[in-house]
Chain A
Amino acid sequence: MSVLGEPVRLGPLVARNRIVFPAHLTNAAVARLPTAQHAAYYGARAAGGAGLVITEEQSVDPADRPYEKLVDGTDPAVVAGYRAIADAVHGHGALVLAQLGHNGGQSSSIYSRAPVDGADDEPDPMFREVPRVLSDAALARLVDGFGLVASHVAAGGLDGVEVQCSQASLIRQLFSARSPRAEPFLLAVLRAVRAAIGPDRVLGVRVQGDEGLAGGLVTEDAVRVAVAVEPLVDYVNTAVGVATRTLPLIEPPMGVPAGYAAHVPSAVRAAVSVPVIGVGRFTTPEQATEAVASGSCDLVGVVRGQIADPSFAAKALRGERVRRCIGCNQECIARVGLNQRLGCAVNPAAGRESVSSPPVASGGARVLVVGGGPAGLAAAVAAARAGHAVTLAERSDVLGGQLALASRAPERRELANLVADLAHEARDLGVVVRLRTPVGSVDGVDAVVLATGARPALPPWAGGLERVVDVTDVLAGRVAPSGRVLVVDAGRGHPATSTAELLARRGADVAMLTPALVAADALAPTLDRERWRRRAAEVGVAEYTDRVVLAAREGLVVDVLEHLTGTVTPWPADWVVHAGPPTPEVPDLGVPAVRVGDCLAPRGIDAAVREGTAAGRSM
């Protein structure tokens, strides 16, 4: 049996296995209270086998509100919500703790209409507000706040508390500012929480092990804090990154290897005798097992892996495949950052656990899915799961559609994992896959799902010039631009940046043009942008903003308009590579068909998987 399956004692209680669903924002709160969605969401991961669930942060101060849907744990009305969460998780045999925290200066006044309270008066770079410096008396009131919320946690029947001292936290800010008030405050908080929850519940801390900032907190600081609090706590959780300054460290996108943060739990584990939780982009059972087996941690935190596949833990313990998180960050990190409820590109049910799905039609129909991209694959999987006989017809000789192409770019290989996982599920469910089959016969078919995607569309200024091509021509290997390449980003997201990087790595002299005010701005919400900029700088991609192409003529010369100033400049190039919105591909099959994904409107992976899944279920 996997080491992940060994029970572990956390002070007074025992977790049934080593897999933790750590705290993370869900935006599921309404009016600052926990909801039925919280209970269903955590309950689904407990049902999926997790040993320990830690809720998202519960604030200890009503004035602390950096984002709209932060739960105010001081409101006695939270107890009913905690009770529902406890029941949902306990019903499936897992433990559940509440994370308690205060965001300090990493906060906003837009909801509270009161000054932001901070460890010092340095504005946070994300919120950009000068904080009011917390007095000693105000800190003492916050200690009481931690105690009050902990008493609500106990009253709600949760199994204990984790005190947040890392990503977004006043306690982290005090330590980071090297304030002499830091350690006494943390110890006072832990004593107050312990007094409120008593000896029969679990108390843990989450310590900061690497802020990623010059002069910031590092692993030795995490060790020092862990040693100082060890007598008071039952476990130590670890983290790297600051939520408002070095967020990509906390929630790294695809391309960052599993275990990138292992140095922190390893060092803490060497210094304390209580169990230590490690985190760090573990997306497969093998990676999670390795983290524990190698001794870097006692328990392993898997957030996105369990969002993508709620049964990650059970499958890990049984040695089965999971539907993997691909680290696209499009529906989890990016949505939450926009004040929207958490979702998942590969798991359409994530964030909607409390929404009752329409009943699945009884199986037995013959279903044809046209198109083997993510939408078609998701439709085939869902229809087969509903008991239908499914044939999937794909025009090309590979599955994956646009994803298969996109995954050829540097650092985007994990996109292919979704194709592989869906294809694997389809095969297991007996879907008949026909490659090199444009449409397939509709004879004898009861229902058709059209998932034919979209085709590249060059802009009118391309004028049929041979060396003005689409990014997909490059990714598919139909052309191999070299020399001076101008990549024109008229779309959103990765197509232009991926292609620019790919060509620069092949030795081309690449300039990337965008009409936007910021180069690669669409990569920011998914936290891909910083890494891309570093790589682009490394391989010499030059970025130009505020520019649109007006015309291209033989030579090759394009006329580039700087739209802020109205200046037009001729721009010589050997190749122009265009990335822009494609055009839906809607073949007329002569029979009614449900359109899903890009053939309805060209959008992201999430729309393809969501619509494909919904269509497959409703056949």
Chain B
Amino acid sequence: MPRVLGEEIVLGRRTAPSRVLFGPHVTHLADPHRPRALGPDHVAHYRARAAGGTGVVVTEVASVVPEDHPYEDAPLAPLGGDGWAAIADACRPYGTVVLAGLGHAGGQGSSAYTRGPLWAPSAVPDPASGEVPASLSPWGISEIVAEFASAAALAVEAGCDGVEIQAGQHALLRQFLSGLTNQRDDVYGDDRALLLVEVVRAVRSAIGSRVLGLRLTVDELAPWAGITPSSARAVVERVADLVDLVVPVRGSALTVGATRPDAHTEPGFLRDVCSSVRVPGVATVLAGSVVDVPFAADVLASGDADLVEMTRAQLADADLVAAVRAGSAPRPCVLTNQQCRVRDVRNPRISCTVAAPEVPERVVGRSVSPVVVIGAGPAGLEAARTLARAGCPVHLVERASTVGGLLPLVAGLPGRERFARLVDWYVDELAALGVPISLGVAAGSGVLQRGGHPRHEAERELPRRRPNTRVERQEITHDLESGRAVLACGGVDRPGRGTPIAAALRDGVPPGPVVIEDPVGDGAAVALAELLAAEGREVSIVAPGLLIGPGLARTGDLVDAQARLARAGVRRVTESSVTGWSDGVVSVADVVTGAVSSLPAAVLVDAGPRRAPSFAAGPGLIAVGDAVAPRTVAEAIREGRAAARELLA
């Protein structure tokens, strides 16, 4: 059944080679010398997905007018011609339908680059920036309609198969459709869909029979004034004769995170809404955390949608459709959003937690001398897989009795369950590649001394993670002086006054009130607090910054996390540090005012960072991941991959 993803589908006058869409997203892949053009790195980004079997690629949304400059390197349609042509050329050999994303961010834009006002339906400030926009005049509106048409004409002239009009998140057209943002008293207020209809009509006449897509917010999650599924269905019906495909999405300016949420939201959450706005004659695309192949196949087979948007799944594995066609499992998206949600003023280039290189490369197989990989966390697993795929004999040894390093612990946390899939995927891959994994092997720092000829021995029968995993009791001999090794043994706890969070997760915490001190704030403390609070425990988090879990800003979960903590009754003690702990009381000082307070605490958990173990460097030894400096899964996988490449070079 999964093969339904790889079936062709007709869109207007074009046929897409598969039913999988790669949706528009911010990439920061622009050439800094031409920041508003689509550059060579964009081309490579889309080509990789086309080569991997994507049916439809929608390029990064280009602003139709220069007055719209929502982020520094936001593409600008009048400068888009070369880039669209190069992308269309690059994808053409694979038959992929290439649509140019076109939009205008309206009041959700930025005035930082234009230095002029934001333009929106009404003077309603955007909740994110707080900036009050100027209200568009009728003349300004007609200019925008004309510019959508010109941009669309330019895109198809450049060779695109069509365009997708952005009326989803960060879109002026949505702002006109919504009572939250459209408070006009002219015709565009009386009929909030009028601007969208005018734009669709103008674009259709500009592109003739080419493919016309519409990304449309169908639920703003604000029923008191926002777009609802029923109001959205009426809009779809009005434009049904003009559009070839519709991608329903959700979320308003009040709920930006709801549009492309992390794993705290159930994957496929739009399925019911999507089918409710589906009208005959318009191909409907299910978007919204569609990351698992069996689910996607079920949606298509059931007729709830005609295509599936699997953007993040194809960031994790560009060859997703090809893998499905070959009957293998793509590398799983873990829905953390940490590396791919890059609408961020710092302009980080898009990446993926589980697939570090932006454009995956296949390592060419060759005969090389054996490598031992010490540590079966994500860094070691990635290193072992990369080496084995290149034909290098590799042996993976792990001190613990399970595979995955910290990931099995992390996977026990709310919203992080999908990391278990990643571990399973690695185990299956290594099994298929015939990589031996020795568990329970104490390969600590002592064996890594120069000149040592350590002999490792598996000491006990090892639990089998999966039936097909080749995890065996065996002896290993590896000469670290002349041999080659990847040290992926992970980090160690820092001595501190509380229980290290890893230990708390592994062993649980004794009864009584809990205080979690979180000096860094990457989300683990939030998750532990949620777990404990769900058990009815009294929990406080103390953090030095303005917010609890500031690292969650990257994932889009920051606001939701505060809400979950508040509802669970977790005390959020910000701008504070722990100054002492005795007799069941933690003393806390405000880092700005110095004000002192106390919190009940039978247990103090230290959610601070771990540290790298000390080890002696050797000529053939490459340290990776937390063994270098404790960081996230993304760095572990990236460095595991890089170490393997270095050994293969």
Contacts and interface: CB of A to CB of B under 8 A. Distances in A.
Interface stretch (B300-308, B344-352, B400-408): B344-352
A584 B120 CA distance: 14
Contacts of B629: 115-116, 121, 129-132
Contacts of B497: none
Given A68-B346, A581-B132, A583-B123, A121 B115 contact: no
Instruction: State which size class the interface on B falls in.
Output: 35 or more
A378 to B, nearest CB: 14
Contacts of A522: 130
A109 B520 contact: no
A534 B123 contact: no
Interface string B93-116: 000000000000000000111010
A123 B632 CA distance: 14
Interface in A467-512: 491-492
Given A130-B629, A339-B72, A517 B609 contact: no
Contact of B345 (A129, A133, A340, A607): A340
Nearest to A492: B130
A340 B113 contact: yes
Interface stretch (A40-48, A258-266, A595-603): A595-603
B124 to A, nearest CB: 9
Contacts, number: 118
B522 interface: yes
A533 B563 contact: no
A602 B130 CA distance: 11
Interface string B281-298: 000000000000000000
Contacts of B520: 123, 128
B582 interface: no
A603 B563 contact: no
A406 B544 CA distance: 31
A130 B609 contact: yes
A603 B567 contact: no
A523 to B, nearest CB: 11
Interface in B596-630: 609-612, 628-630
Given A110-B346, A121-B612, A491-B130, A546 B551 contact: no
Nearest to A533: B592
A517 B575 CA distance: 13
A533 B594 CA distance: 11
Given A546-B566, A601-B134, A125 B545 contact: yes
A584 B137 CA distance: 14
Query: B123, B612, B630 — which one has the most chain A CB atoms within 10 A of its CB?
Result: B123
Interface in A127-167: 128-133
B346 A339 contact: yes
B611 A130 contact: yes
A128 B519 CA distance: 9
A550 interface: no
A115 B131 contact: no
Contact of A610 (B115, B118, B521): B115
B477 to A, nearest CB: 30
A373 B72 CA distance: 31
A546 B123 contact: no
A399 B110 CA distance: 30
A386 B563 CA distance: 55
Q: Which applies to chain A's interface (DSSP): helix, strand, loop or mixed?
A: loop
A130 B630 contact: yes
B566 A338 contact: no
Contacts of B563: 564-565
A530 interface: yes
Interface string A499-539: 00000000000000000011001101000001001100100
B572 to A, nearest CB: 9
A68 B347 contact: yes
Contacts of B562: 517, 546, 564
B346 A517 contact: no
Interface string B115-158: 10110000101000011111000000000000000000000000
Contacts of B609: 123, 130
Given A109-B635, A603-B117, A338 B628 contact: no
A30 interface: yes
A306 B630 CA distance: 43
Instruction: State which size class the interface on A falls in.
Output: 35 or more
B117 A607 contact: yes
B395 interface: no
A584 B135 CA distance: 10
Contacts of B522: 128
B123 A125 contact: no
A350 to B, nearest CB: 12
B592 A30 contact: no
Contacts of A129: 629, 631
A123 B115 CA distance: 36
Given A123-B520, A132-B628, A340-B113, A603 B131 contact: yes
B24 to A, nearest CB: 22
A180 B39 CA distance: 48
A4 to B, nearest CB: 33
A530 B592 CA distance: 6
A113 B350 CA distance: 12
Contacts of A92: none
Contacts of B468: none
Contacts of B133: 601
B33 interface: yes
A461 interface: no
Given A521-B546, A610-B115, A338 B33 contact: no
Contact of A537 (B123, B347, B595): B595
B611 A31 contact: no
Contacts of A571: none
A67 interface: yes
A13 to B, nearest CB: 35
A379 B101 CA distance: 40
A123 B112 CA distance: 30
A160 B293 CA distance: 61
Interface string A336-348: 0011100100000
B593 A534 contact: yes
Interface in B32-76: 32-33, 72
Contacts of A518: 546-547, 574
Contacts of A109: 631, 635
A601 B123 contact: yes
A338 B112 contact: yes
A16 B118 CA distance: 45
Contacts of B593: 533-534, 537
Contacts of B118: 601
Contacts of B345: 338-340
Interface string B515-558: 00001111000000000000000000000111100110000000
A603 B347 contact: no
A413 interface: no
A128 B33 contact: no
B566 A603 contact: no
A105 to B, nearest CB: 10
A30 B33 contact: yes
A562 interface: yes
A389 to B, nearest CB: 28
A565 B566 contact: yes
A339 B32 contact: no
A224 to B, nearest CB: 28
15 contacts: A30-B33, A115-B635, A128-B551, A130-B609, A339-B346, A340-B345, A524-B546, A537-B590, A562-B566, A581-B123, A583-B123, A601-B117, A601-B118, A603-B111, A603-B117
Task: Return the 3 tightest CB-CB contacts between A and B, nearest first.
Answer: A492-B130, A564-B566, A601-B134
Given A116-B629, A128-B522, A584-B123, 7 more contacts: A115-B635, A132-B628, A518-B574, A534-B593, A565-B566, A601-B133, A607-B117
Interface of A: 30-31, 67-68, 109-111, 113, 115-116, 121, 123, 125, 128-133, 335, 338-340, 343, 491-492, 517-518, 521-522, 524, 530, 533-534, 537, 546, 562, 564-565, 581, 583-584, 600-603, 607, 610
